[in-house]
Amino acid sequence: MSYRLIGAELSPYSVKVRSYLRYKQLPHQWINRGPASQDEFQKYAKLPLIPLLITPEGQGLQDSTPIIEALEAEHPQPSIHPDDPVAAFVSALVEEYGDEWGNKPMFQYRWRRDVDAQSGAERIVSGSMPDLAGAAKDKAVAGVKERMVSRLSFVGSSDATAPLIEASLARVLAILERHLASRPYLFGGRPAFGDFGLFAQLYECSTDPTPGAIMRDTAPNTLAWIARMLDPRAEGAFESWDSLKATLTPLLRDEIAAVFLPWTRANAAAIAAGEATFSVQLPDGPFSQETQKYHARSLAALRKKYAEAARNPAVPAALAEAGVRLDG
């Protein structure tokens, strides 16, 4: 028996789980979310979100991080967690960053400019309703565009914050280009937890007109890594943190410590205070958006992982060196 993964090619979280299943060589079927899969989706899904993974035992799993964590417990080899304790926690931190902040440039680039929104909407409709054509397809595409563009504020994308979000992506690509120049995956010769979380957002960017052109012009090493992550294989061992830190520390220092963690802490503090919106000063300027409860829960889960990892004194020492703070 095999797993059944209901998702969409334009969903980074679906592609993330698919990549993991391929790496583990777990038999699975990839099923496009749409009218044809609606009955099965409704039978197993607790939330109207993809991906939905249906196990051979008939259990429906949602949310990409818990899905991968559950599968990893059942199928621990080849492990996606480096042996080095610092590298292992940094990998978990990068996975969280990809899921929660990396989604912002992906979503903004896809839906803020009409050329990208048109491309995205057409591909969503073609994937979910392949038999639709003519005026009916045009209407469906227009409906998708309208719905998704209206959701830009949910990721904090506005006229004021758009330059900050695009600067973040440019920074990440520059960092990854240097880091991936000498290794196939973020943590060495095989994919780690962090690879799955970050690659999926950047893969989606690479398929859209505007960010795709940027990446083809500036990020060949990153594009090669993305291509490997679509069907990843172990090509060698994980590296130690001492081997990785020269080129991976900039991602911790300039993006995770300077941008992502201040943002997620501010969101959690605003929710605790009962506020509907929040604003935080980031290196490129002030960033404001509506509070998001899921991000606060995700931060709490990350802090729990950190508390466990920090039992090894090398972990907090390495994070402190990079300016990473996971307390309140």
The CATH number of 3-74, from 3.40.50.1700, 2.60.40.420, 3.40.30.10, 1.10.3720.10, is 3.40.30.10
* Cis, peptide link before residue 78, omega less than 30° from 0: yes
Alpha-carbon span 98 to 296, nearest angstrom: 15
Alpha-carbon span 270 to 278, nearest angstrom: 6
Contacts of 97 (CB under 8 A, 6+ apart): 197, 198, 255, 256, 260
Q: Which sequence spans correspond to the domains of the chain?
A: 3-74, 85-106+157-321
Burial call 284-303: b when 16+ CB within 10 Å, e when fewer? beebebebbeebbebbeebe
CA distance readout (Å), 277 to 188, 264, 267, 287, 293: 40, 13, 8, 11, 11
- Which pLDDT value is given to residue 222? 98
Strand partners, 32: 7
- Which pLDDT value is given to residue 327? 76
- Which pLDDT value is given to residue 258? 98
Say which amino acid occupies 223. L
* DSSP assignment letter at 75: -
DSSP-assigned states of every residue in 244-282: HHHHHHHHIIIIIIIIIHHHHHHHHHHHHTT-SEEEEEE
Among 114, 117, 110, 138, smallest CA distance to 126 is for: 138
- Which pLDDT value is given to residue 1? 77
Alpha-carbon span 206 to 8, nearest angstrom: 16
- Residue ranges, the chain, pLDDT below 70: 328
Say which amino acid occupies 90. V
Tell me the pTM. Answer: 0.97
- Which pLDDT value is given to residue 97? 98
- Which pLDDT value is given to residue 34? 94
- Which pLDDT value is given to residue 142? 97
- Which pLDDT value is given to residue 27? 97
Count Cβ atoms within 10 A of the Cβ of residue 12 and give its class: 0-12 exposed, 13-18 middle, 19 or more buried: buried
**Sheet architecture: strand order including 60-62:** 28-32, 3-7, 52-54, 60-62
Interior angle at CA 50, CA 48 and CA 52, nearest 5? 100
CA distance readout (Å), 4 to 28, 40, 44: 5, 10, 11
- Which pLDDT value is given to residue 328? 61
Among 112, 121, 205, 124, smallest CA distance to 155 is for: 112
Count Cβ atoms within 10 A of the Cβ of residue 319 and give its class: 0-12 exposed, 13-18 middle, 19 or more buried: buried
Decide if 99 contacts 17 (C-beta within 8 A): no
Contacts of 250 (CB under 8 A, 6+ apart): 175, 178
pLDDT in tens, 244-268: 999 999 999 999 999 999 999 999 9
Q: Which parts of the chain are beta strand (E)?
A: 3-7, 28-32, 52-54, 60-62, 277-282, 285-290
- Which pLDDT value is given to residue 189? 98
CA distance readout (Å), 209 to 174, 213, 277, 296, 309: 19, 6, 32, 32, 40
